[in-house]
Structure 1
Amino acid sequence: MIAIPEGVYKIGTDQPDGFLTDNEGPQITIQHPAFSIDETTVTNEAFAIFVKETGYITEAEKFGWSFVFHYFVSEEIKKANKKVPNMSWWYAVGGADWQHPEGPDSSIEKRRDHPVVQVSRNDAVAYCLWAGKRLPTEAEWEIAAKGGTDFEKYYWGNNLLENGFYHCNIWQGDFPKLNTLEDGFASTAPAKWYEANAYGLYQPIGNVWEWCSNPARIDLTAFQKKDSSYFWEEHQKIDDQMYATRGGSFLCHQSYCKRYRIAARNGNTGMSAANNLGFRCVK
């Protein structure tokens, strides 16, 4: 885990880069105690150890299906499953789970070092309790993602590309039909693929969305009024509220999802799982 020092930090942004309803600003200053955070998202290998030791069954496995983006669904699976109403890019795929991220004809055999996906927030909470850790608040996530800088977009600077070089795994090309794979990946990249930020944190931007402990899109001033333990104690129960997710994923593209930025905010229901949803832990 990476040690993040106690200090005064800025979170949020005053820039109009995102969606008004996401409550990305106004930017505020908070005094935050020290904490530690995983250097990578939890990998398939790490999650497999948890499952082996506990016998845990994920919610996607219990439900018998989960969400998969159309680009990764084979024609055979498409015929056997249905598109999600009002979400035409997504299929509800029977047999999709953390060991079969794109459906029963997929595998993590060659992706042990990739982020675990198809995990709900409730699944992430169960892992944290087993590991003696917890989920980060959005404030902790943002502080760690910045890597000690004042950058609000990317931990390497203010430009997505530097000399044509990608620092993260997002969608290139014509979303949602064509991915030109300029960053080298269509789906997840290994959790330690791109360079770490100045704190030593790998890929907080892109790759997979990361679950947080607090409800989605709450006013940023809540993090001035309540400490991290409050959000964890109040929200570690199993439920289906809307919870915060951070960082964007390999499906983010400027034409649709502008949330592959440090200050960007998003959320999902606690029981949701998809092939671009993962997590990392703090302590």
Structure 2
Amino acid sequence: MCKSFSLLLLLPLLFLFSCQSNNVKNEEKAKKDSLASCEKNMPSRFGAVKDTSSFAGNKVSHEGMVLIPAGQFAMGASDKEGRDDEYPQHQVKLASFWIDVTEVTNASFKKFVDATGYVTTAERKPDWEEMKKQLPPGTPKPPDSVFVAASLVFYQPKSITTLNDASQWWRWVKGADWKHPNGPKSSIKGKENYPVVHVSWDDAMAYCKWAGKRLPTEAEWEYAARGALKNEKYPWGNEDIEKGKVKANTWQGNFPIKNTNWDGFNGLAAVKQFKANGYGLYDMAGNVWEWCSDWYRPDYYATLSGVANSPKGPSDSYDPMEPTVPKHVVRGGSFMCNASYCKGYRVTSRMKTSSDTGLEHTGFRCVSSN
């Protein structure tokens, strides 16, 4: 538990993230993130999202998309680096589909907001009646003064006591949202080609519906991320991320205290700054986590047998860390990922978070079946 959180931090996420297990005493566990979870203890913050039923889905344009050929692949980890929910590896068969070459950018998301008047989750005040459904029974209601529109922003501390307390590098900032990624005094001017962030799963779904597209299934995302490679750890192969040429926007150095910026970035990067994978897709590792359509269950892979034909994930969500909080899968890692803390840039790495949560390092890309 992250007992050092202020009341304001406790409101949206209760205990925020914990990207290590409760035991990080030995070096081996610190280097291996198989027990890590970057989305621990994240209760629902808000009530129902804006009704998107009136959104007129646009005719699908495949501009800026790549057609991924139909095929069969081995999904899940084949080595010993995976977390428990990445096993067993299993065969998946997929029909062809189109996928965005990059994450959805600020410029594209602005077109959606301008056309629909959509208000994102981070721009709305929390609904206590909805929030308390996912908090421990008897949790007292905080004062009304702390129920404000806000979002979580990364803060680089000078020192930390433990990697178990993520409140040391996350701050709950009033007025932070997709238009103001670092708080109310920040803007996206000049960053039109950066991935949109501070978007919840609900926000991503609304955008996809407007664009006439959808979020990728977890299977589609991993198949596309592999770029036609088989059983490789990363979209570029098996070479470690900090060996050879720069490959992705991640954290180099001592997380979260010092980033050497070897990759050229200290925080988010514009899209297309690194080499594309074998399918021509950019940033399938690092930069921002990407929402998938699937609910999350740690044992889902074990329920599949034979060749799974276009799996869409479980019918509901269950996270034993937070049984009352429904969660969706996020994939790909972010600019905060480091081997000592979160190796989420592996193609098989699975993380999860609640539908109404958005952060500075979470975005998405869309797919289309036709």
Check 1:222–1:124 CA distance in 2 against 1; reply closer, same or farther (3 A cut).
Answer: farther
In 2, distance between residues paired with 1:90 and 1:13? 30
- Report the counterpart of residue 157 of structure 1 in structure 2: 237
Check 1:216–1:140 CA distance in 2 against 1; reply closer, same or farther (3 A cut).
Answer: same
In 2, distance between residues paired with 1:71 and 1:225? 43
Check 1:159–1:200 CA distance in 2 against 1; reply closer, same or farther (3 A cut).
Answer: same
SS in 1 for 2:352: strand
User: How much has 1:242 moved relative to structure 2?
Assistant: 0.5
In 2, distance between residues paired with 1:212 and 1:16? 24
- Report the counterpart of residue 66 of structure 2 in structure 1: 2
Check if 1:207 corresponds to 2:287: yes
CA contact (8 A) 2:74 2:231 kept: no
Check if 1:65 corresponds to 2:146: no
SS in 1 for 2:103: coil
SS in 1 for 2:152: strand
Amino acid across the alignment from 2:350: R
Q: Could you tell me which runs of 5 or more consecutive residues in structure 2 were left unpaired when the two chains were aligned.
A: 1-64, 126-148, 158-164, 318-324
Amino acid across the alignment from 1:220: Y
In 2, distance between residues paired with 1:233 and 1:126? 20
Q: Percent identity?
A: 46
- Report the counterpart of residue 80 of structure 2 in structure 1: 16
Check 1:222–1:281 CA distance in 2 against 1; reply closer, same or farther (3 A cut).
Answer: farther
In 1, distance between residues paired with 2:98 and 2:192? 24
In 1, distance between residues paired with 2:365 and 2:171? 26
CA contact (8 A) 2:202 2:356 kept: yes
In 2, distance between residues paired with 1:59 and 1:232? 25
- Report the counterpart of residue 35 of structure 1 in structure 2: 97
In 2, distance between residues paired with 1:58 and 1:122? 8
Check if 1:172 corresponds to 2:252: yes
Check 1:57–1:222 CA distance in 2 against 1; reply closer, same or farther (3 A cut).
Answer: farther
Q: By percentage of residues, which structure has more strand?
A: 1
User: How much has 1:183 moved relative to structure 2?
Assistant: 0.3
Check if 1:220 corresponds to 2:301: yes
Amino acid across the alignment from 2:122: A
- Report the counterpart of residue 130 of structure 1 in structure 2: 210
State the superposition RMSD in angstroms. Answer: 2.2
User: How much has 1:161 moved relative to structure 2?
Assistant: 4.0
User: How much has 1:231 moved relative to structure 2?
Assistant: 5.6
In 2, distance between residues paired with 1:131 and 1:255? 38
1:15-34 Cα offsets, whole Å, 9 max, x none, are: 221333xx111211111111
Check if 1:193 corresponds to 2:255: no
CA contact (8 A) 1:135 1:232 kept: no
In 2, distance between residues paired with 1:215 and 1:232? 6
User: How much has 1:204 moved relative to structure 2?
Assistant: 0.5
User: How much has 1:222 moved relative to structure 2?
Assistant: 5.8
- Report the counterpart of residue 177 of structure 2 in structure 1: 97
1:228-278 Cα offsets, whole Å, 9 max, x none, are: 5x569989xxxx721000000000011111211001110001000100000
CA contact (8 A) 2:92 2:310 kept: no
CA contact (8 A) 1:44 1:108 kept: yes
Give TM-score scaled by structure 1 length.
0.87
Aligned length: 264
User: How much has 1:165 moved relative to structure 2?
Assistant: 1.7
In 1, distance between residues paired with 2:242 and 2:256? 24
Please list every run of at least 4 consecutive aligned residues from structure 1 whose deviation after the TM superposition is greater than 6 angstroms.
Answer: 232-235
SS in 2 for 1:166: coil
In 1, distance between residues paired with 2:314 and 2:97? 14
